[in-house]
Amino acid sequence: MTGGPFEAVLFDLDGTLVDTRLDFAALRRELGFPEGVGVLEHLATLEDPEQAAWASTVIDRHEMKGAAAATWIDGAQSLLDTLHRRGVPTAILTRNSRAAVARTNELLGLPVDLILTREDCAPKPDPEGLLLLAERLGLRPATTVYVGDFVFDLQAARDAGMASGLLRNGKNRHFEDQADLVLNHLGEVLYWLHSGNDANGE
């Protein structure tokens, strides 16, 4: 799916709008979790309740530390403020915890209409959260774009019937072929809203 103009813009949080410097490699090492499997997905496979509870505590500690250090990704604050002024519906769907997101919001102030976390719906790449956002905000998936920085974001958008936007970061170019649109800077979202041009700004 490509095209536009889009009527609403939904966003991932960490790595897309804010940088929490969350070190997933360090987190995996402390947990003893394998590479190549999502942290939340592996957590769900733990059968020992005590081990699962300990792992959840470790994950929460890392997330809260990152949330307390959150800074804006270049262009994110300006983009959200502009979308808000223009009345464009916006929302955030993140795999982060509600507590971590609340801390980030407390520090930075996230001017969006709605935020869903992993406590609110099945985590991405499941499209449930995007579909819930569309339902609650009265959005049409086909005229909505979801912007993220990871393959789970692209998969969730596709399965929700939305366009997917990938924010390049130097480490995710191998996901570009799965994205409908690719950004080098968040300000390019405004171009999509008005031009209706197709993927990669071409």
Range of the domain at 193: 8-18+71-197
Residues 80 and 173 in one domain: yes
Residues 57 and 150 both lie in one domain:
no
Indicate if 93 and 170 belong to the same structural domain: yes
Shortest CA distance to 157 belongs to which of 39, 41, 12, 16? 12
Residue 1 lies inside a defined structural domain of this protein:
no
Structural domain contains residue 141? yes
165 domain-assigned: yes
Residue 2 maps to a domain: no
Taking only the tens of pLDDT, the chain with its 202 residues reads 455 689 999 999 999 999 988 777 778 888 878 887 777 777 787 788 888 888 888 888 888 988 999 999 999 999 999 999 999 999 999 999 999 999 999 999 999 999 999 999 999 999 999 999 999 999 999 999 999 999 999 999 999 999 999 999 988 999 999 999 999 999 999 988 854 333 333 3
**Residue 186 and residue 74 in contact, taking contact as beta carbons nearer than 8 Å:** yes
DSSP string, 183-200: ESSGGGHHHHHHH---GG
Per the domain annotation, does 3 fall within a domain?
A: no
Q: Supply the CATH number for residue 186's domain.
A: 3.40.50.1000
